[in-house]
A and B are shown apart, each in its own frame.
Chain A
Amino acid sequence: MTSGVIRRSFTAAAMLASALFGGAARANPTPYQLNMERGASTWSQVPYHLNNISLGVCVVIGILVFGAMFIAMFRFRKSRGAVAEKWSHNTLLEVIWTTIPVIILVVLAYLATGGLTSWADTTGSQMTVKVTGYQWKWRYDYEEYLGKPISKVGFMSKLDSQSDQTRQLDSGLDPFKVKVGDENTYLLNVDKPLVVPVDTKIRFIITGADVIHSWWVPALGWKLDAIPGIVNAAWTNIQTPGTYRGQCAELCGQDHGFMPIVVVALSKPDFAKWLAEQQAKSAPPPAAPAAAPAAASTAAAPKTAQVSAAPVADAQG
């Protein structure tokens, strides 16, 4: 119903927008990037489309207003012999240019409200991850997956060492050489990324340990503050597997610029495998607890036995 209408109007505007901005879906920033990206989650297109629609509205109004101004500046110059007129108001015009903006605003508000309401609905999630901001790193704790609680899968995630060495004052190292494959990952890479499955409604509960941080991965379409003493909730549902990079978005002290976020979205089976490995690793060496096989994939089961002796320190960033 309403959301359908919203989606359709978004789609219509999206076609216009992608014509304008060549919107091939990329996830991470690229040189000379001019506009927001569509993102990779089911919801991330909401801000993307709102951005394009409101930008379009502003461009049109701008052309009209600035156009009128430039015409005035050419037609009514004293040097062209223009003589000033005496009038100084016009009720009809004033009513028109108060009403038309109101109508435009109502439309924008309607679209934005729909998008916001869907964002705020964290019910029906299939997975829960707790995110904690620290000066200056993130901690991820996996709480629950497909209705089953997960314990002891959690780790710190901080700036990767190559970026960290390069970013030191007078390091003499070249930021352009910090790469993973072809992609420059300077200041956008971590030692241990957050790994999540695609096609899963993931609920994030976000909090801060010391000062306020803000957890932001542009490809997911939102940021949310990580505030000490407060637990915030948001959700995402990533559609395409991939690596999505973001940064802390609330000033949090000297290394605020150096606490990136990396989310790796895996297919569901790959994720199940990964999760089982993690659970196995964190299990205490002697008795493998019953929690480990709880993970969905049976394929992971034999591996559990093998890795159970692996050093626990590995899980700590």
Chain B
Amino acid sequence: MSHAATHDHHDDHHGAPKNFFQRWCMSTNHKDIGTLYLVFALLMFFIGGSFAMLIRAELFKPGLQLMQPYFFNQLTTMHALVMIFGAIMPAFVGLGNWMIPLMVGAPDMALPRMNNLSFWILPFAFTLLLSTLFSAGGGPAGGWTMYPPLSLQSDSLAYVVFSVHLMGISSIMGAINIIATILNMRAPGMELLKMPVFVWSWLITAFLLIAVMPVLAGAVTMLLTDKYFGTNFFNPGGGGDPVLYQHIFWFFGHPEVYIMILPAFGIISEIIPTFSRKPIFGYKAMVFAIASIAFLSFIVWAHHMFAVGLPLGAEIFFMYATMLIAVPTGVKVFNWVSTMWGGSMTFETPMLFAIAFVILFTIGGFSGLMLALVPADFQYHDTYFVVAHFHYVLVTGALFAIIAATYYWLPKWSGRMYSEFWGKMHFWNSVIWVNVLFFPQHFLGLAGMPRRIPDYNVAFANFNMVSSIGGFLFGASQLIFLGVLVHGVFFSKKKATDRVWEGAKGLEWTVPSPAPFHTFDVPPVIHDDELAHGHVND
């Protein structure tokens, strides 16, 4: 490859702009925007996390000690909104921004200016959302699901709706950008079925996003007009129906939970082969499983509504469809285990988080299967059992995958190796305390503790205290993460090699570490054996 010569004459603009404002606020560079997304997600993770600490502190023992119930409700609502829309989703978009162009050999995202806009909407959206906490009537307190009529009682509804609109616009633009990049910007020879599973997972996720974020926007718009403009979409007094809101919300909501897990599947499908030094088992089956999960996610929404009194036929249909999702999900888990089988494994921090993901996400999948059985869900629904379920899939699932990805690609981003010792400290602390935090919540739910309550009968005291202790220590463990990141980005003396990991394959590892400001300005020549899946036929 003799491309280097062709670039020598662009002497005037290569590296990043020196001016801080120019570099970060005006950026159109996918790497810088990716970094912005990731830093933003980390900030939101700590803000949402501090809400969670307050929640667990109030629930530490029976009786109200710290706050009024209404403030507690604001905390649970804000915790969920911030974590879902502020931490998990932007983190995946950040990873996609950084890695997708590098993985498919594109010079940048297809629409770099729109990329800038997608990101910079978010700080405004979240400033607006968080500011409601300081307003006279307080922040939203009707739960992240914003069910009417309750959500219509809140004074901050208009602010919340507007910030949800902003987040939605940001996600839709981000998704369009990702689709356009993957479909049009691949280097010659990077056929669709040679793409890394992470890229595939993002392609499919992006389609979910453009289909369901507008539906959420529609639902909250109707809330807004019901409250302020005299419409009666959901107002039974005027001929509306509150249950319709739930149908629309969950038509968004269930694909949304898959939006938060499919990119995680992609990440784990990158990391496990690397540290097993063996190609992913059943590449095509993995891609097909993601696609079928995405498809099924559109026809299972009412499993969140089993207790609203649906007709028998609907309950049965949604139960069967939901149970069906367990099949492709199972295929994924089995394939990850088979990838490890017969490999030559090492256990660096990203691999540890990936293994914890496979086990703990599967536990979340198990409780999901139990929740799908309607008669059992009549008992589980809206209890701590559900809280345990979605925290297993979201914290030890989505979040662990994001953390694994961060350790995995950080050396490529910063050019320095993070501290393996402190990475492992972070891992062991996280994995132990997260289970102390969430496992007892299964018991609480089974014993009959409803979710979203600030106080409880003394029968629930023991496990709540255990859970709170786990929560505080899990929270504290994330400060280790912060330390490892700061050290690994700015201070570590250990330089990363280009390949970083012995078993790593794929285009992203062919560029120097740290990845230069511009890469693949001239499309790379693809060699199938360099790709993680280039030569496999299955």
A and B touch in the complex (CB under 8 A): yes
Q: Which residues of A contact B (CB under 8 A)?
A: 28-37, 46-48, 50-51, 54-55, 58, 61-62, 65-66, 68-69, 72-73, 76-79, 82-90, 93-94, 97-98, 101-102, 105, 108-109, 111-113, 115-117, 119-120, 166-171, 173-176, 184-188, 206, 210-212, 214, 216, 218, 221-225, 227-230, 232-233, 246-258
Contacts of B323 in A (CB 8 A): 105, 108-109
Q: Mark B415-444, 1 if CB is under 8 A from A, else 0.
A: 000000000000000000000000000010
Measured CA separation A307–B327 after assembly (Å):
64
Q: Which of B282, B324, B346, B376 contacts A78 (CB 8 A)?
A: B346
- For B243, give its contact among A90, A102, A176, A227 (CB under 8 Å): A227
Query: Are B241 and A230 neighbours in the complex by a CB distance under 8 Å?
Result: yes
> Which one of B279, B307, B355 lies within 8 Å of A69 (CB-CB)?
B355
Residues of A within 8 A of B320 (CB): 109
Q: Which residue of A lies closest to B308 (CB)?
A: A225
Q: How far is the CA of A186 from the CA of B458 in the complex (A)?
A: 7
Asked if B383 is an interface residue, CB under 8 A from chain A, the answer is yes
Contacts of A253 in B (CB 8 A): 70, 73, 141-142, 150, 153
Contact of B448 among A88, A214, A218, A227 (CB under 8 A): A218
- Using an 8 Å CB-CB cutoff, how does the interface string of B430-466 with A read, 1 for contact, 0 for none? 0000000000000100111110111111111111000
CA distance A315 to B460 in the complex (A): 32
A47-B379, A188-B457, A230-B241 known; A88 and B281 CB under 8 Å? yes
- Given contacts A29-B449, A69-B337, A88-B282, 5 further A-B pairs with CB under 8 A are A48-B379, A76-B276, A167-B455, A171-B63, A250-B147
Residue B166 CB within 8 A of the other chain = no
Chain B interface (Cβ < 8 Å from any Cβ of A): 62-65, 67-70, 73, 141-143, 147, 149-150, 153, 236-237, 240-243, 276-283, 285, 307-309, 312, 315-316, 319-320, 323-324, 326-327, 330-331, 333-334, 337-347, 355, 358-359, 362-363, 366-367, 369-370, 373-376, 378-379, 381-383, 443, 446-450, 452-463, 503, 536, 538
CA distance in complex: A216, B242 (Å): 20
Determine the distance from Cα of A228 to Cα of B280 in the docked complex, in whole angstroms. 52
Contacts of B355 in A (CB 8 A): 69, 73
Residue of A nearest to B154 (CB): A253
Residues of A within 8 A of B449 (CB): 29
Whether the Cβ atoms of B326 and A101 lie closer than 8 Å is yes
Minimum distance in angstroms from B527 CB to a CB of chain A: 18
Residues from chain B with a CB closer than 8 A to the CB of A51 are: 370, 376, 379, 446
A29 to B447 CA separation, bound complex (whole angstroms): 5
Could you jot down 5 A-B contacts, CB within 8 Å?
Answer: A69-B358, A90-B338, A105-B327, A119-B378, A187-B456
- CB pair B316–A116 under 8 Å, yes or no, is yes
Report the bound CA distance from A257 to B63 in whole Å: 11
